[in-house]
A and B are shown apart, each in its own frame.
Chain A
Amino acid sequence: MSTGTQRVLGELLAVGRLQAFAVSAKGFAFDPRTGQSFSINETGVRTLELLVETGDVARAVERLAADCEVPAEVVEGAVTAFVHQLGRYLA
């Protein structure tokens, strides 16, 4: 796991951005700071939960890989891209 990805997550969590992000089970998300709304797919909703819960990219990848029965390397690449997306949209 690249330290860059963990750093992005760390910064988002440190300022409370991910915690404040309102996400419905249907995948409608709202950023109260900017008023921007988003669609998040099902895997995205679950990933977000795991990222907030664990605060750790590697542990979130592990749990997601187990849940979805997909090799960890596949999940890792996808979660890395997702965290960077979050970093971009919520910065």
Chain B
Amino acid sequence: MTARRAWEPPFIQPHRHDVSPFGRRGVDDDIQGAIAGVDIETLIDRWGSPLFVASEGRLRENVRRIREAFASRYPDVVHGWSYKTNYLGAICRILHQEGSWAEVVSAFEYEKARALGVPGPRILFNGPHKPRAILERASAEGARLHVDHLDELATIESIARDRGTVIPVTLRLNFDTGHTEPWSRFGFNIESGQAYEAAVRVKASPHLVLTGLHSHIGTFILEPRAYGEQVRRMAGFMAELEGEGHDAITSLDIGGGLPSRNALQGIYLPPEQAVPSIDSYAVAVCGALERAFADRPRERWPTLIFESGRAVVDDAVSLVASVVGTKRLPDGRRAVVLDAGVNSMLTALWYDHPVRLTRPVPGAPEETVLYGPLCMNIDVMRRQVRLPPLAVGDRLVFNPAGAYNNTQWMQFIEYRPAVALVGEDGGHSLIRAAETLEDVCRPERMPAHLQTGDGTR
């Protein structure tokens, strides 16, 4: 019994057969002591645990590589950064510096993009809820309005009429690609004729002009051919409208949905095997565009816009969490309580995030459950992962953790943790401070009749 940490009763655990025999069960590649070259303990000393850590180098590299996959195969390509995926100001600023436009879906996100200095014409405004006030502002600032329903179209038309102008619009489309579950609640459906009707409404209005088509076929799409089919359907609809004398469509926006190297629950292959390369998506999209537009001159090829979110940011951000307690469950499984749970990393509800230790830990690995700090049964970070016996203070690094966590995280029971950025020069800085009692309580107001008394009566 060498390297024994503490007495542990002898224990045997059968392996469950619904667990992949491939990589998934191990502590993936075992040990990770640093993030983007910076020692993790140094970061935790500075900003505490749990801590999100973003790598600027990785983020820039990702967006360049993904854009290049498309831009090397099609003449005119724009990436719209999907704000909802991660709208921390520093993250958005880095991506805008790389040339990405902003893709926003609410008044809040629109205002945030403008506050970060993004000009209106470089904002793609999606989303089913755009109140009149924000539509007035966005149209005046030249933002691209992606229309979700007829009531919105009527509001935009009335704004244009009041101003005596013409407002260009993009119609959001939905249809069945045959490869993915159709997201039919957004935009106008092609098969039922709604999309065609909407286009006719636009054409009939002296205050509107249709310049673009948009669709978003879903998220974490593991089948590149779904995008080929999407492009084919969109180009077909475009040709139909043009054939009937509608104005020229100048942009096709294929939305987001490219998968990141994360492990979706229920998919037993590890991400390296389950997730196709970005190039295979670009080949499907650009090949379909080329086939669709083969007989029109290049200057009439529409701009290709894509709104990739998770593929750009997911693996550029890690979450470091610390062990605060260990236990043996009644069924014999080993369990660990961490200081970060689904309150900080909501995506643990649908991903088995790859997790690594920050240093070697002696002892035989065993199937272990990782719990968060909440007093809720669903607060599970990993339902099963093979780990050596951990002790209080040991750290775990979850990566990818950059998509939909710094936006969907909850201030529930615990404070939201800090987010640090490791720069390309290895310098590190805070991009969002850990929440304090003051932050959480700032919007609250105490009615006059409750203002006295300290709770002891």
Contacts and interface: CB of A to CB of B under 8 A. Distances in A.
Interface of A: 26-27, 29, 36-48, 67-68, 70, 74, 78-79, 81-82, 85-86, 89
Interface in B5-52: 7-15
16 contacts: A26-B365, A29-B12, A37-B14, A37-B15, A38-B13, A39-B365, A39-B366, A39-B367, A40-B11, A41-B10, A42-B363, A43-B8, A46-B1, A78-B10, A79-B10, A82-B12
A42 B10 CA distance: 7
Contact of B11 (A37, A43, A68, A74): A43
A7 B299 CA distance: 86
Given A37-B15, A89-B14, A42 B367 contact: no
A67 B12 contact: no
B389 to A, nearest CB: 7
B10 A47 contact: yes
Contacts of B10: 40-41, 43-44, 46-48, 78-79, 82
Contacts, number: 75
A26 B1 contact: no
Contact of B13 (A39, A42, A79): A39
A48 B364 CA distance: 14
Contacts of A43: 1, 7-11
Interface of B: 1, 4, 7-15, 332, 363-367, 386, 389
Given A41-B389, A68-B1, A27 B365 contact: yes
Nearest to A86: B12
Contacts of B389: 41
Nearest to B332: A85
B332 to A, nearest CB: 8
Given A38-B14, A43-B1, A68-B1, A26 B364 contact: yes
Nearest to A89: B14
B12 A44 contact: yes
A44 B14 contact: no
A78 B9 contact: yes
A85 to B, nearest CB: 5
Contacts of B13: 38-40
A64 B10 CA distance: 10
Given A39-B365, A46-B1, 10 more contacts: A36-B14, A40-B13, A41-B364, A42-B1, A42-B363, A44-B10, A74-B7, A79-B10, A81-B9, A82-B10
